[in-house]
Amino acid sequence: MKTQERAFDGAATPLVSAGKTIEEQSFCIIDAEMGPHDFPPDQWSIVRRVIHTTGDLEFARLIRIHPLAVKAGCAALRQGAAIVVDTRMVQVGLSPTRLQWFGNAVVVPASQAGVRETAEKEGLTRSAAAFRRLGTTLNGIIVAVGNAPTALLETLRIMHDERIRPALVVGVPVGFVQADTAKEALWQFQAVPSITVLGRKGGSPVAVAVLHALLELAYGLGPA
């Protein structure tokens, strides 16, 4: 059976039927309150899940999705690409059931041995130090940053200076220092597909919502 034709049944979703009913009702409310929009169906699946997660319709105005982001992200997920994230908040927020669909591993570089020492030595944040060590391992994988703008800035440096090319960068760090500039820089770097949220809003829950939407699209539970 082709991926796009998989049925949305109990084996495919981590929600029990009552939870799925509530989720579907929520999506209907979001659709109604959002009204007409210009998002293609696959991109709307992502935007709607972000709104569902945050309860904030303003994300529809702030989110930016590269024209190739959905295709690139779904292809990488189907191939079992690893997902490199900036915090354990993103890691633990991801559904084990969804991750099992394609066997995608979730890696948190900041939790690895020696990162703290490297950060202290080089005067970096732990997130920046952790991502700096990744180098060519970022090629072809998915990067998701929900909390640490310095991790996103280091990813951008690696992509620019070392010509490293992740399959997709989900850059949605929240905050008041460097978050907005990091996300604007990501959006301007059109050589790599990305999904971001301009301004101060974002966060680990937003990164998780984007990844869940992409996993469902890759599995054939949506328009992609």
| Over residues 52-75, mean pLDDT | 97
* pLDDT digit string, tens, across residues 141-180: 999 999 999 999 999 999 999 999 999 999 999 999 999 9
Q: Tokens representing 148?
A: 């640490």
- What value, to the nearest 5°, has the Cα angle with vertex 36 and ends 212 and 222? 30
Asked if pLDDT for residue 224 goes beyond 60, the answer is no
pLDDT at residue 9, as a whole number:
45
Asked if pLDDT for residue 109 goes beyond 70, the answer is yes
- What value, to the nearest 5°, has the Cα angle with vertex 129 and ends 119 and 194? 155
* pLDDT digit string, tens, across residues 43-55: 999 999 999 999 9
Find tokens 């009552």 and name the residue: 18
The verdict on whether 52 is a catalytic residue reads: yes
Q: Any residues with CB less than 8 A from the CB of 100 and at least 6 apart, and which?
A: none
pLDDT at residue 155, as a whole number:
96
- pTM of the predicted model as reported, rounded to 2 decimal places: 0.90
Among the listed ranges 9-13, 35-39, 72-76, 187-191, which one has the minimum average pLDDT value?
A: 9-13
